[in-house]
Amino acid sequence: EIVMTQSPATLSVSPGEGATLSCRASQNIASNLVWYLQRPGQPLRRLVFHASSRSADIPARFTGSGSGTEYTLTITSLQSEDFGIYYCQQYKDWPLTFGGGTKVEIK
């Protein structure tokens, strides 16, 4: 199966600052990557799919990029609702697999 590795495990950011999250696949996933945000008590929220396509109602401060095995989610000017755990997931091959997550916390 394809192994997804996210870094860093934890990111401490002040509101208004930017953040860059990384996701690496163990083999080429050809941009078949989705990013999610998990917040306590809320359903998982899809942010980006196809590596760089923003989901409906997702603010422009979220930008997905990357190709091959290396992917990035960039968040500019973090708002209070952006703090939580971010997961990447590949859908190139079955079984689908998630990364271990990056926790973005308030500094």
Long-range contacts of 55-63 (CB under 8 A, 24+ apart): 62/35
Query: Hey, what are 76's tokens?
Result: 């500019």
In the complex with other proteins, which residue's Cβ is closer, 26 or 77?
26
Instruction: Work out how close the CB of 94 gets to other proteins at its nearest, in angstroms, rounded to a whole number.
Output: 4
Which residues in the 76-105 window bind other proteins by CB under 8 A? 85, 87, 89, 91, 94-101
Distance from CA of residue 28 to its chain's centroid?
A: 17
Please say which residue, 45 or 61, places its beta carbon nearer to other proteins.
45
Q: What are phi and psi of 17, to 5 degrees?
A: -85, 170
- Under the binding rule (CB under 8 A), the answer on residue 32 touching other proteins is yes
Site string for other proteins, 46-65 (x = CB under 8 A): x--xx----x----------
Three state DSSP letters for 48-89: EECCCEECCCCCCCEEEEEECCEEEEEECCCCHHHCEEEEEE
Among 38, 52, 69, 76, interactor with other proteins by CB under 8 A: 38
Residues that bind other proteins (CB under 8 A): 1, 32, 34, 36, 38, 43-46, 49-50, 55, 85, 87, 89, 91, 94-101
